[in-house]
């Protein structure tokens, strides 16, 4: 009589489990890479800044969007930008302790000489405003919907005086129009800040509106003369 081979796996037999999916980088992956490759290069400059303190020339207010990298698009290094990031690069017209504390510190303590508000294309906060997220959930709302209410002035402005690109017809894209107009509105909100108003009246500080178009990696600056955003062109050096 022939016995049927057992199909059970012996406890000592090797286990053939399906391959594990590739592990995604953890929160420290980039930090480890920084410590290995970049920290040795930056250490002397950071040590100097640690001894002497920071003295940035510019306050840079931009969106929290992960695609926006202020130090990359401004070619700046440690100690050069005092940066504020929030949903929609908003400067609330009503008192907001977080944003206005940063503005006050930058202007009155650090004595920055310029403030830049930088918006960008495809901004999710502006898309949410267009979809009425700021009107949801009644009076209380969520932290996000309450924050978005600070963008209502931009919604009002875009209906009456939308910002545009210089040399182009007004955009037919509602989101692009709002993203552009929001930058101009936040500059006006900044001018209402007491510390900023004093310094601008004295000619001691410059306000700049910047817009970054993600699809082309092109920056545009707000021109008060032409009342439009003009492209920032590379500086071409002359031959010696």
pLDDT in tens, 107-127: 999 999 999 999 999 999 999
Task: Estimate to the nearest angstrom the gap between the alpha carbon of 92 and the chain centroid.
Answer: 16
**105 CB-near residues (< 8 Å, 6+ apart):** 82
Concerning whether 16 is annotated as a catalytic residue, the answer is: no
* Between 137 and 211, the higher pLDDT residue: 211
Q: For residue 15, is pLDDT > 60?
A: no
- Of 32, 43, 48, 67, which residue is the catalytic one? 67
* Between 70 and 14, the higher pLDDT residue: 70
Comparing CA positions, the residue from 175, 143, 167, 179 lying closest to residue 230 is 167
Confidence of residue 134 (pLDDT cuts 50, 70, 90): confident
- Cα–Cα distance, 214 to 192 (Å, whole number): 30
Torsion sign, CA atoms 195, 153, 215, 64: positive
Say if residues 168 and 116 touch (Cβ distance below 8 Å). Answer: no
Q: Each residue of 156-181: pLDDT tens digit?
A: 999 999 999 999 988 999 999 999 99
Q: For residue 70, is pLDDT > 90?
A: yes
Concerning whether 32 is annotated as a catalytic residue, the answer is: no
- Of 118, 120, 134, 177, which residue is the catalytic one? 120
Concerning whether 118 is annotated as a catalytic residue, the answer is: no
Concerning whether 26 is annotated as a catalytic residue, the answer is: no
CA-to-CA separations, 9 to 2, 5, 13, 15, in angstroms, rounded: 20, 11, 6, 8
* Between 183 and 140, the higher pLDDT residue: 183
Tell me the whole-structure pTM to 2 decimals: 0.85
Concerning whether 63 is annotated as a catalytic residue, the answer is: yes
- Of 2, 48, 85, 123, which residue is the catalytic one? 123
Helix (H, G, I), strand (E, B) or coil at 55: coil
Count of beta carbons in the 10 Å neighbourhood of residue 57: 14
Q: Where are the alpha helices (DSSP H) in the chain?
A: 29-33, 39-52, 70-73, 97-104, 124-130, 143-148, 152-160, 174-191, 194-201
Q: For residue 240, is pLDDT > 60?
A: no
Distance from the first to the final alpha carbon of the chain: 100
């Amino acid at each position: 009589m022939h016995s049927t081979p057992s199909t059970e796996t012996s406890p000592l037999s090797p286990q053939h489990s399906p391959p594990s999916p590739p592990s995604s980088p953890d929160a420290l992956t980039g930090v480890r890479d920084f410590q290995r490759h970049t920290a040795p290069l930056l250490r002397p400059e950071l040590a100097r800044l640690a001894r002497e303190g920071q003295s940035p020339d510019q306050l840079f207010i931009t969106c929290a969007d992960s695609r926006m990298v202020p130090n990359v698009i401004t070619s700046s290094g440690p100690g050069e930008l005092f940066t504020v990031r929030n949903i929609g690069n908003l400067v609330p017209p009503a008192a907001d302790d977080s944003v206005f504390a940063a503005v006050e510190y930058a202007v009155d303590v650090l004595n920055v000489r310029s403030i830049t508000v930088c918006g960008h294309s495809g901004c999710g906060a502006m898309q949410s405003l267009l979809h009425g997220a700021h009107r949801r959930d009644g009076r209380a709302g969520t932290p996000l919907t309450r924050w978005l209410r600070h963008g209502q002035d931009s919604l009002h402005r875009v209906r009456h005086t939308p910002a545009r690109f210089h040399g182009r017809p007004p955009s037919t894209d509602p989101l692009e129009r709002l993203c552009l107009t929001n930058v101009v509105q936040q500059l006006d909100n900044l001018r209402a800040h007491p510390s900023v108003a004093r310094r601008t009246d004295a000619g001691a500080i410059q306000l700049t509106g910047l817009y970054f178009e993600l699809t082309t990696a092109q920056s545009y600056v707000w021109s008060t003369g032409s009342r439009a955003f003009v492209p920032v062109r590379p500086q071409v050096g002359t031959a010696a």
